[in-house]
Amino acid sequence: MGIGMKRSTTIWAALAAGCLVSTGAASAAGEAPASAASQRAVFALVNGTAITTQQYEAAFNAAVRKKFYHRQPPENQLAAFRREVADALINRVLLVAEGARRGIKPDAARVSDTIAGYERRYQDSPQWRKNREALLPELRRELEQLSVLERLEQAVRTAPEPGEEHARSYYAAHPDLFTEPERVRLSVMLLKVDPSAPGIAWNKAREEAQAIVRRLAAGADFAALARLHSGDVTAGKGGDMGYVHRGMLPQAVHEVLDKLTPGMISEPVTVLEGVAIFRLVERRASHLRTYAEARKRAADLWKREQADANWNGLIATLRSAAAITIDQARFPEFSATGSGTRVQTGR
């Protein structure tokens, strides 16, 4: 049905984009280069490795573009979001060093393919042709580091298949994850109205919908009227939408449906696409799936939890042993960068 059915990117992905921007690929494409001062200024030192202000700002801007539609974090989220980006950069330095310690090598073929993609993308850019030889070594280094990070994460996140005891324990401890929500089976009749149509068109649709509701109350067949009047994609099936659960339709529609019992017809409901009439066919209560039904999902979720614990545990261990200095004189919002981190103030 077309009535408003609903649909973060990770800091990690945004960080990758920001690091590539900091190599100069953006300026090669014609964007303004970072100032010399920002290229030299140090945002943080992580075990002696510098993160420049340019790298931090590039990663922050890339993360903002990915996460916030208007490209501006809400004021009450700004400081926390800046710390999140900073933490990701610090983690990156520590994890790259850990990858090197473990002898992990980058995927050379994939790195070369990615560089070839840059070559094709910017082949007509005068800036790229002018700066290509200077940019390529740094671009390759960044891509190799990202490849090492991916391989390290894949290795660390590897978790064994859980035994029966672990799977059963996970199932018992997380009943909400194995509970099917209440579902309702619906039929709909949609009198379509263009969202930008004048009020007179909407009023006419509401009047028509009220007349249809009266016909239904007098015994008219919903499916037959839906085939005749509905502009929804379900019209050919007599308006049958099948089963839906809360969150699949606008909240205002769910509030109307909550008041219906099977067989009842709703009053006309104004939605984005026009005016809708619903018939509640069946209501199925929420229920907990049996362990036999949920065993595979329980095992998969247990593995995911273990993988997350492995990865987060590695990061916590690396941070607890790290010497991290942040220029808090210029970035006072980083007076606390997260638990398990020894942060030294400084310039």
Q: Could you give the angle at which helices 11-20 and 126-156 cross, rounded to 10 degrees?
A: 150
Question: In whole angstroms, how far apart are CA 118 and each of 136, 137, 230, 305?
Answer: 10, 13, 50, 36
Domain residues for the domain of 75 are 11-160+306-346
Task: Please indicate, yes or no, whether residues 66 and 95 belong to a single structural domain of this protein.
Answer: yes
Q: Is 41 helix (H, G, I), strand (E, B) or coil?
A: coil
Task: Please indicate, yes or no, whether residues 281 and 333 belong to a single structural domain of this protein.
Answer: no
Task: Please indicate, yes or no, whether residues 51 and 148 belong to a single structural domain of this protein.
Answer: yes
CA dihedral 227, 231, 233, 234 (to 10 degrees): -30
Strand partners, 340: none
pLDDT of 336: 53
- The rounded distance, in Å, linking the Cα atoms of 255 and 184 is 13
Task: Please indicate, yes or no, whether residues 39 and 155 belong to a single structural domain of this protein.
Answer: yes
Reported residue count of the chain is 347
pLDDT (tens digit, 0 to 9) for every residue of the chain, 347 residues total? 544 333 333 444 445 544 554 555 555 555 555 555 545 788 999 999 999 998 899 898 888 888 887 778 888 888 888 888 999 999 999 999 999 999 999 999 999 999 999 889 988 888 888 888 988 898 899 899 999 999 999 999 999 999 999 999 999 999 999 999 999 999 999 999 999 999 999 999 999 999 999 999 999 999 999 999 999 999 999 999 999 998 899 998 999 999 999 999 999 999 999 999 999 999 999 999 999 999 999 999 999 999 999 999 999 999 999 999 987 777 777 765 443 344 444 44
The reply to whether 260 falls in a domain is: yes
- Structure tokens given for 77: 């989220």
Question: In whole angstroms, how far apart are CA 266 and each of 32, 54, 104, 121, 147?
Answer: 58, 58, 62, 55, 56
The reply to whether 111 falls in a domain is: yes
Measured at the CA of 161, the angle between CA 156 and CA 166, to 5 degrees, comes to 110
Sign of CA dihedral 276, 282, 283, 287: negative
Which CATH number belongs to the domain containing residue 129 in this structure? 1.10.4030
Task: Please indicate, yes or no, whether residues 18 and 115 belong to a single structural domain of this protein.
Answer: yes
Q: Is 11 helix (H, G, I), strand (E, B) or coil?
A: helix
- The rounded distance, in Å, linking the Cα atoms of 218 and 145 is 71
Task: Please indicate, yes or no, whether residues 128 and 26 belong to a single structural domain of this protein.
Answer: yes
Residue 21, judged by CB atoms within 10 A of its CB (0-12, 13-18, 19+), counts as buried
